[in-house]
Amino acid sequence: MIQFNLQRFLKLARWTLVRDRRYYRKHFLQVLVMGTLMMMMFGVYMGNDPHNGYDTCVFVVVFSVLASTVMGAGYMFLSMDGKHDRQTLLMLPASNLEKYVMRYATWILMLPLTVAAFLIADSVQYVVNVMLGHEWVQTVTGFIAEIDYNYQFGPNPRRTLLALFMLLLWIHSVYAVGATLFRSLKHNWLLTSVVLIAGYLLLICFVKWTTLNCYWWNNHGMFNLLFLCLTVLNFWLSYRLFCRQQVKGRFVNV
């Protein structure tokens, strides 16, 4: 079988979207309700200084979208429930690569729904503020556009931002490994987060208690190359683990 056929992949994508539509609808409504409650609380009823409320709204929105992007690869199997769904996935007339790409794309499909839900919630708080007659009425989107972004990321901001991007991309790939490794856990991204936090704490202790050579960390080029290689390795490992998916299996998919 050809590993990737566009027409076959489009049929798989159409089938997946129809099957998972209830999951995407549920995600959209959850973000809409939580976003509306948050913006009503901080954007409408936050005392005499509305900017503090809008600052909180901006933080929650930006953090939510960023977290959804970084941890998105861990959402591969959130829409699948139990043995029957795993069996159906194995029986689909598509290659493992096509199935993996479609499952990985779950977070890409969820991202615009998340943004749309926040925009609707923002519109609700704006309308409520207008109806209450608040003179400082403003949309959170407009408040974001007015923020001063002249923040300096060190002496070479481009290299610093690129290094930050590579670090976040690597973390994203770790969630891809966690999604396929802990395949029997419904919310496997939670366990992956715990593993990441534990690893970070161990690294901090290791650096503190040893005289570690920080050449790799201070050299942006070597840092980016290292995390690029680790990212590629993680996605390869995630795909190999995905190919070992079983209807029945142990807690860890190895």
Residues 86 and 64: their CA atoms lie apart, in Å, by 29
Residues 6+ apart with CB under 8 A from 14: none
- Give the residue among 183, 193, 181, 191 at the shortest CA–CA distance from 82: 183
pTM of the model: 0.86
Residues 90 and 249: their CA atoms lie apart, in Å, by 14
Q: Which two tokens stand for residue 218?
A: 């201070």
Residues 34 and 120: their CA atoms lie apart, in Å, by 12
Residue-level pLDDT at 142: 82
Q: Which residue has the tokens 């690129």?
A: 162
**% of the chain at pLDDT higher than 70:** 82
Mean pLDDT, residues 215-223 taken together: 64
Residue-level pLDDT at 251: 55
Neighbours of 28 (CB within 10 A): 17
Q: Which residue has the tokens 């400082």?
A: 136
pLDDT reading at 125 higher than 80: yes
Please give the mean pLDDT across all residues of the chain: 82
Residue-level pLDDT at 152: 61
For 29-73, the pLDDT digits (tens) are 999 999 999 888 887 766 556 566 788 888 899 999 999 999 999
For 127-172, the pLDDT digits (tens) are 988 888 877 778 888 888 777 666 666 666 677 788 889 989 999 9
